[in-house]
Amino acid sequence: ADVGGIGMGLVRMVRPWDEWLIVWGYDINQPPPEVTPELATSVARQLVGDPALEIELLGANTWTVNNCFATHMQKGRVFIMGDAAHRHPPSNGLGSNTSIQDGFNLAWKLAKVVKGQAGVGLLDSFSAERAPIARQIVTRANQSIAEFGPIFEALGMDGGVDHDKIHRNMEARADATPVAEAQREALRKAIAFKKYEFDAHGVEMNQRYASGAVVTDGQGEPPFEKDRELHYAPTTWPGARLPHVWVFERSGRKVSTLDLCGHGEFTLLTGIGGEAWVAAAETVGAELGLPIRSHVIGPRRAIEDHTGDWAGAREIRDNGCLIVRPDHHVAWRSETLAADPAAELRRVLKSVLAR
Ligand SMILES: Cc1cc2nc3c(=O)[nH]c(=O)nc-3n(C[C@H](O)[C@H](O)[C@H](O)COP(=O)(O)OP(=O)(O)OC[C@H]3O[C@@H](n4cnc5c(N)ncnc54)[C@H](O)[C@@H]3O)c2cc1C
């Protein structure tokens, strides 16, 4: 391809082995081309290298790499989410899931306000929580595109259109020379660095919210001990995602901590000695007209932690508690049993719900 700077087109499998998505560059300083069936067919033929190839064209249009995000996602009664709020290339596969998470964040808040269980102030937390994510993922996806550069460089693809030269540069890596050895090493390094696109769980899993819908009580954010983009660092620090851990029902059935929570309601998780939290949740839930689900996790309780994985992940004592929001993010935690659990839950929930 003689535009786009890298001298390459892109062929991406949709279904093995007969349905493909093909991307080809066009000069964005010129008006967009009309992508006729003839043009699309000729691009496919060039990329496959078969001038007689017959294709069935399902669709063709123009598309550009975007690098833009909304800095706030609400104006009065209007909210935006998904690609309308963050536009970026597909690198890191951040598009659909971020869009769905926008919806997961907003839906329960709207429901609580519409049902009269929360004040309208709760809705302000949508933009406070999701706009920083929009910035983060748009920046990451565009950085990942830029990080292909060293691979093309190592292959000797300098953005030119001299096919013979590109071919010679690529072939040179097979030579038995110090230069070729250095080229092979540079190529391996450049490909390994793409773990920031293809093996970077932290990018999504370490997303932590700070807003009026989270109460930290001054607890500082736990530091990241490993690279925060590559490695997920589970924590129950308020604002973080509830860690997934397998626990067990009395029947022996395995259930995720995530499935103990969510389903549109707040959930209280505690352990042995934390039963007073459960009673407090019933009292405060009745006062606020807010259903709160509770689980006591421990030996001989409805949910057991045979492996100790939950005890290792929860970052609270047996008689402490976590309040988990309907979207699986931790709203608040108490390391131990409070002197007046109902007063604590009342304070926290009224704050989170803008009551
Ligand atoms: C080539 C490519 C590869 C991708 N790969 C990945 C990937 O690997 N992983 C990933 O997570 N994401 C990927 N994505 C991104 C993902 O597809 C999007 O982020 C996601 O679809 C955005 O969802 P959305 O609901 O915000 O917007 P859309 O899916 O665009 O939905 C918007 C809808 O609104 C409709 N609409 C528009 N205007 C109007 C109107 N006036 N009235 C009524 N309806 C209207 C549109 O027809 C459309 O159906 C990729 C995208 C592309 C282009």
How does pLDDT run across 169-180, given as a tens digit for each residue?
A: 989 999 999 999
Q: Indicate whether 219 pLDDT > 90.
A: yes
- Residue 1: band (very low, low, confident or very high) from pLDDT cuts 50, 70, 90: low
Tokens 């949709």, located at residue: 14
> Ligand 1: which residue has its CA nearest to atom 38?
84
- Residue 32: band (very low, low, confident or very high) from pLDDT cuts 50, 70, 90: confident
At residue 215, the pLDDT reads 98
Number of CB atoms found within 10 A of residue 264's CB: 11
pLDDT tens readout for residues 135-183? 999 999 999 999 988 998 998 887 777 878 888 998 999 999 999 999 9
Looking at the CA of residue 94, tell me the nearest atom of ligand 1. Answer: 11
Strand-strand pairing, 330-334 and 68-69:
unpaired
pLDDT tens readout for residues 73-101? 999 999 999 999 999 998 999 999 999 99
Q: Indicate whether 287 pLDDT > 70.
A: yes
At residue 166, the pLDDT reads 84
At residue 213, the pLDDT reads 98
Q: Tokens standing for 339?
A: 């002197």
**Short-list 279, 345, 330, 7, CA closest to 155:** 7
Q: Check pocket membership of 103 for ligand 1, CB cut-off 6 A.
A: no
> Ligand 1: which residue has its CA nearest to atom 32?
83
- Residue 3: band (very low, low, confident or very high) from pLDDT cuts 50, 70, 90: low
**Short-list 318, 131, 98, 264, CA closest to 210:** 131
Q: How far apart are the CA of 304 and the centre of ligand 1, in A?
A: 41
Q: Indicate whether 28 pLDDT > 60.
A: yes
**Short-list 351, 310, 317, 349, CA closest to 334:** 317
Lowest mean pLDDT among 41-50, 102-111, 158-167: 158-167
Residues 292-317, mean pLDDT to the nearest whole number: 98
Q: How many helices (H) and strands (E) in the chain? A: 12, 13
Q: How far apart are the CA of 97 and the centre of ligand 1, in A?
A: 11
Q: How far apart are the CA of 83 and the centre of ligand 1, in A?
A: 6
What is the identity of the amino acid at 187?
L
Residues 115-126, mean pLDDT to the nearest whole number: 98
Q: Check pocket membership of 82 for ligand 1, CB cut-off 6 A.
A: yes
At residue 167, the pLDDT reads 86
Helix (H, G, I), strand (E, B) or coil at 334: strand
pLDDT tens readout for residues 234-278? 999 999 999 999 999 999 999 999 999 999 999 999 999 999 999
Is residue 208 classed exposed, middle or buried when 0-12, 13-18 and 19+ CB atoms within 10 A define those classes?
Answer: buried
Q: Check pocket membership of 93 for ligand 1, CB cut-off 6 A.
A: yes
- Sorted by where each starts, the structural domains of the chain and their CATH numbers stand as 1-61 (no CATH), 68-145+200-205 (3.50.50.60), 246-352 (3.40.30.120)
CA–CA distance from 98 to each of 143, 197, 211, 259, 268 (Å)? 17, 15, 18, 20, 26
Q: How far apart are the CA of 87 and the centre of ligand 1, in A?
A: 10
> Ligand 1: which residue has its CA nearest to atom 50?
90
Q: Indicate whether 62 pLDDT > 90.
A: no
